[in-house]
Amino acid sequence: MQTLGLKLGERAYPIHIGAGALDQPELYAPHVRGRQAAVVTNPAVAAHYYARLQAVLEAADARVTRILIEDGEQAKAWATLDHVIDALLEARCGRDSVVVALGGGVVGDLAGFAAAIYQRGVSFIQVPTTLLAQVDSSVGGKTAINHARGKNMVGAFHQPLAVIADVATLDTLPERELRAGLAEVIKHGFILDPEFVAWLEENIERLLARDRAALEHAVHRSCELKAQVVAADERESGLRAILNFGHTFGHAIEAGVGYGEWLHGEAVAAGMVMAAELSARAGTLRRDDAGRVKALIRRAGLPVSGPALAIDRYLELMQVDKKAAAGKIRFVLLDGIGRATLRGDLKPDWVRDSIAAAAQ
Amino acid sequence: MQTLGLKLGERAYPIHIGAGALDQPELYAPHVRGRQAAVVTNPAVAAHYYARLQAVLEAADARVTRILIEDGEQAKAWATLDHVIDALLEARCGRDSVVVALGGGVVGDLAGFAAAIYQRGVSFIQVPTTLLAQVDSSVGGKTAINHARGKNMVGAFHQPLAVIADVATLDTLPERELRAGLAEVIKHGFILDPEFVAWLEENIERLLARDRAALEHAVHRSCELKAQVVAADERESGLRAILNFGHTFGHAIEAGVGYGEWLHGEAVAAGMVMAAELSARAGTLRRDDAGRVKALIRRAGLPVSGPALAIDRYLELMQVDKKAAAGKIRFVLLDGIGRATLRGDLKPDWVRDSIAAAAQ
């Protein structure tokens, strides 16, 4: 097992990565000993891991309550949030309780947001069980629910006390979700680390075959890269925005087809192809490097083109994207492989053409 | 006009107090210049002050949007929150927008919470127009909505950029709300400042007659006292809890009769009489000092006894009060006039008897 630190002053926390981490009481005990721990999860994940998590939390001297939410992106909604708040109150959870998010990105985002606002904020621990959550959403403190007018429009920055990422839980992950998680791994390489991109180009088949050592390396390096960015810019006032590479297009795809139709990672994958295309048109990325982006995404079994939406619909959906300052859209472009830049001065035609080039 | 500072490091902010402050563009300009300002208010307050606020914000170079919510405590609910979020999205407010809360405690709590969670947090300004909001709820960054199981159970600590308290707006305040605001003024005296209690005992009639100089002094001293406590303990991990003097009982009263039946200040007034009674029983407050608490509250035209609820109902409602750590109720007691202490070791009989002594 390896442990990374997210350096955030008084909000610093450890990220534990390794097979079997889920069952180690000493990882939980400093945070839950003598407290009430409310585990938020969904039925599919609970069937695999709840009993083990309950046992390890009890071994760490916590009183454990289970709160089930429905599966899928549609759970990131007011109604689910109210359900979790209600269950916390019914279980008489006080301000010293700890919410434990057991599951993927939806569970983490929803449970983390519930923890952020329950009684004006209680602690929480992330126990991510999908690749997407392990490499991305569980790290950095972003929590949110969706709104009909846009994804993640309501939320909070709320850092966990710890992240416990057991790569052995990926054994039970559906194939499609494994691939979707790889989209964020690939993203971290393209925006931050050319050597990691080269490693991914060599090892993508090992990752798809769930080689445990390869997965552990990919999760570890992804978390390390993301942790550096978050430590430098916790609340996304600058640098952190580069983590949204592919996401402005990706969020439009998710909203356009209806949340949950495309997995987040699938939408980001097609969005990265569009963003790489836009980078090439803006002159910051060589054509052959844009080709490397597309090729790696294709080899990961991810979509390299968007759904059949009108281009005007894409643009309309992107106007309300929350990265848009005062109605002006800014895009994360690649400035070569392994380097990203934020640009707000792009010609509208380039944006249209990039969508068209990558649309079905 | 007087300006206080709330000293909170990078979250420090000014509190401007004085007749006419509402109309001074220079108080707003540093925070809204070139930005979109979304004013959250209710129809009654808007009728008096919206046009003036719109004019001053435009003079400070902001683009202004109005968002109306219903009046009264029932507005502190998910549905209103969703309405405000929806209106912010419809108006295409970006992450650099500023929410301006124009109204009393309900507007401030709701608008502040909406600002805390909209796109994971945007800035806000408090423009309190009730005495309660000017002396208490607009200062300190507590925002929240209510839940059927308890008041303020969902919320955030989110500090404003500035508080602009125009005491001239109290001219239009209904008599009952003026008295309710005095409850929190009186509270600040009893927990923190014996000289201010003596001043209140001398000047309560001037305050009720809306003498502007007396009101300005009361608002100023209340904000000063509260700001000191908040600066020392922003997130209520210790000292700040003393501001809840009378509130554990008060919240039970509000929940027991249904939110909105009793005004918050009225419930706190009766709650302070109960808490003073409890202090006397616990031996921390002399009998004649408990009498001073009751006498001043009565002279302010506020209730000195609770509604006709069964004592067991009070206790049941207090169990889920959010100040209860792991199911154990802690009370703020007076340790003499002008000093408060937090106690968790009180005999259940004392609590029952204190409620009974102050019940109708």
Which residues in chain B are contacts of A152 at CB distance < 8 A?
Answer: 120
**A241 and A134: one domain?**
no
Q: Is B178 helix (H, G, I), strand (E, B) or coil?
A: helix
d(CA A186, CA A283): 22
Convert the pLDDT of each residue in B58-96 to its tens digit.
999 999 999 999 998 889 999 999 999 999 999 999 999
- Token couple for B290: 């408990």
**B86 and B194: one domain?**
no
- Nearest CA-CA distance, residue A158 and chain B, Å: 10
Give the mutation candidate from B117, B122, B151 for the A interface (greatest A CB count, under 10 A): B117
Give the mutation candidate from B123, B137, B154 for the A interface (greatest A CB count, under 10 A): B154
**B98 and B201: one domain?**
no
Q: How many domains does chain A have?
A: 2
pLDDT at A322 over 80: no
**Subunit contact B156:A35, Cβ cutoff 8 A:** no
**B195 and B124: one domain?**
no
Task: Please give the residue range of the domain that contains residue B282.
Answer: 175-358
**pLDDT tier at B344 (50, 70, 90 boundaries)?**
confident
Least reliable range by pLDDT among A9-13, A67-71, A267-271, B355-359: B355-359
**Subunit contact B95:A322, Cβ cutoff 8 A:** yes
- Given a contact cutoff of 8 angstroms between Cβ atoms, the answer to whether A60 and A33 are in contact is yes
**A184 and A252: one domain?**
yes
In 3D, which of A232, A126, A239, A246 has the Cα closest to residue A186?
A: A246
- Apex CA B42: angle with CA B41 and CA B43, to 5°? 130
Nearest CA in chain A to B146: A119
Strand order in the sheet with B13-17: B2-6, B13-17, B162-165, B123-128, B98-103, B36-41, B63-68
Strands A98-103 and A123-128, sheet pairing: parallel
Give the mutation candidate from A117, A152, A230 for the B interface (greatest B CB count, under 10 A): A117
Convert the pLDDT of each residue in A8-24 to its tens digit.
988 999 999 999 999 99
d(CA A235, CA B116): 13
A187 has catalytic annotation: no
A42 has catalytic annotation: no
**A73 and A116: one domain?**
yes
Q: Which of A94, A116, A156 sits opposite B325 (nearest CB)?
A: A94
**A213 and A147: one domain?**
no
CA A52: distance to chain centroid?
24
Q: Residue A360 has what pLDDT?
A: 56
A236 has catalytic annotation: yes
Q: Residue B326 has what pLDDT?
A: 42
Which residues in chain B are contacts of A118 at CB distance < 8 A?
Answer: 153-154
Average pLDDT over residues B187-194: 98
**pLDDT tier at B261 (50, 70, 90 boundaries)?**
confident
- Apex CA A238: angle with CA A120 and CA A266, to 5°? 80
At A343, give phi and psi (nearest 5°).
-130, 135
Question: What CATH code is carried by the domain that includes residue A152?
Answer: 3.40.50.1970
**pLDDT tier at B298 (50, 70, 90 boundaries)?**
very high
Q: Which of B120, B155, B156 sits opposite A144 (nearest CB)?
A: B120
**pLDDT tier at B238 (50, 70, 90 boundaries)?**
confident
- Token couple for B130: 């009730």
Residue that is last in its domain, among B172, B191, B216: B172
**pLDDT tier at A228 (50, 70, 90 boundaries)?**
very high
Convert the pLDDT of each residue in B309-339 to its tens digit.
999 899 888 875 555 554 468 899 999 999 9
**B185 and B123: one domain?**
no
Strands A63-68 and A98-103, sheet pairing: unpaired
Q: Is A259 helix (H, G, I), strand (E, B) or coil?
A: strand
Q: What ipTM does this complex have? A: 0.90
Rounded to a whole number of angstroms, the CA Rg of chain B reads: 20
Q: Which of A35, A36, A153 sits opposite B119 (nearest CB)?
A: A153
Convert the pLDDT of each residue in A273-286 to its tens digit.
999 999 999 999 99
Residue that is last in its domain, among A171, A187, A203: A171
**A187 and A162: one domain?**
no
Nearest CA in chain A to B325: A94
**Subunit contact B118:A327, Cβ cutoff 8 A:** no
**A156 and A185: one domain?**
no
**B31 and B180: one domain?**
no
Q: Residue B106 has what pLDDT?
A: 95
**Subunit contact B119:A322, Cβ cutoff 8 A:** yes
In 3D, which of B303, B294, B307, B304 has the Cα closest to residue B254?
A: B307
